Amino acid sequence: DIQMTQSPSSLSASVGDRVTITCRASQSIDNYLNWYQQKPGRAPKLLIYTASSLESGVPSRFSGSGSGTDFTLSISSLQHEDFATYYCQQSHSTPFTFGPGTKVDIK
Amino acid sequence: QVQLVESGGGLVKPGGSLRLSCAASGFNFRDYYMSWIRQTPGKGLEWVSYISSSGHAIYYADSVKGRFTVSRDNSNNSLYLQMNSLRAEDTAVYYCARDKRLFCRNGFCYGSLFDDWGQGTLVTVSS
């Protein structure tokens, strides 16, 4: 199975900050990497697919990059509604696996 | 708009069975793969199973293989997960998700992304 790791596991930031989250796969997954946002009590929401494609309706302050084993999710200017937990997920091969999550909270 | 509504969760004893349902609306259900994904506080998000649009291709996580069965009824826009021989470690919130595929080749579709999710249904396995 492909293992996914994320760093940091949590971070504190202020509104307006630029935030970067890293995701690493245990083997190359090309660009088959998706990012999700989850708020408490809600289902995850797709933000980015194939590493860098922005899902329809997602604000342009979100961006993704990377290929192979190393990926990043960036939020250019953090807004109140962005405080949440973020997960990466590989879709290169089954079983599809998720990272453990990065919780972004208010400093 | 896309709507996915799970039902069937509840409290069940170890070794027991439960059948989850997911009612889909707002899109052409028969055109999409579908997946079940579960979430626990301890293990995070875990993909459980997917089923192709026709139902001919099915995959399971090793943790549920041989105990869970996924199925779908395209005439009723419904997805199911039959869960047998339940264990304490199956306790989780179970989500159904639309499993969008980016491209298809030789009858199989690749590039999975979960672009819509239900609200989840809680399954608790405890004596």
List CB contacts of A5: < 8 A, sequence separation 6 or more: A23, A24, A26, A99, A100
Mean pLDDT of A56-73: 98
Asked if B116 contacts B97 with a C-beta cutoff of 8 angstroms, the reply is yes
Tell me, yes or no, if B112 comes closer than 8 A to chain A by beta carbon: yes
Residue A81's Cβ-side half-sphere holds a number of Cα atoms within 13 Å equal to 5
Residue of chain B minimizing CA distance to A54: B115
Average pLDDT over residues A77-92: 96
**With an 8 Å Cβ cutoff, are A43 and B45 in contact?**
no
Per-residue model confidence (pLDDT) at position A107: 87
Query: How many helices (H) does chain B have, and how many strands (E)?
Result: 0, 11
Does the distance separating the beta carbons of B113 and A44 come in below 8 Å?
A: no
Interface size, chain A vs chain B, as Cβ–Cβ contacts under 8 Å: 55
Half-sphere exposure of B7 (CA within 13 A, CB side): 4
Q: What is the mean pLDDT of residues B25-48?
A: 94
What secondary structure, in 3-state letters, does chain A show?
CCCEEEECCEEEECCCCCEEEEEEECCCCCCCEEEEEECCCCCCEEEEECCCEECCCCCCCEEEEEECCEEEEEECCCCHHHCCEEEEEECCCCCCEECCCEEEEEC
Q: Chain A within 8 Å of B59 (Cβ-Cβ)?
A: yes
Instruction: Select from A90, A94, A102 the residue whose CB has the most chain B CBs within 10 Å, as the one to mutate to test that interface.
Output: A94
Share of chain A above pLDDT 70, in %: 100
Q: Whole-number mean pLDDT of chain B?
A: 96
- Predicted confidence at residue B74, as pLDDT, reads 98
The pLDDT value recorded for residue A39 is 96
Q: Which residue has the higher pLDDT, B109 or A68?
A: A68
Chain A residues whose C-beta is within 8 A of a chain B C-beta are: 32, 34, 36, 42-46, 49-50, 55, 87, 89, 91, 94-101
| HSE-up (13 A, CA, CB side) for residue B77 | 12
Q: How confident is the model at residue B43 (pLDDT cuts 50, 70, 90)?
A: confident
Is the distance from CB of B17 to CB of B84 less than 8 angstroms? Answer: yes
In degrees, rounded to 5, the angle at the alpha carbon of residue B6 between the alpha carbons of residues A46 and B59 is 70
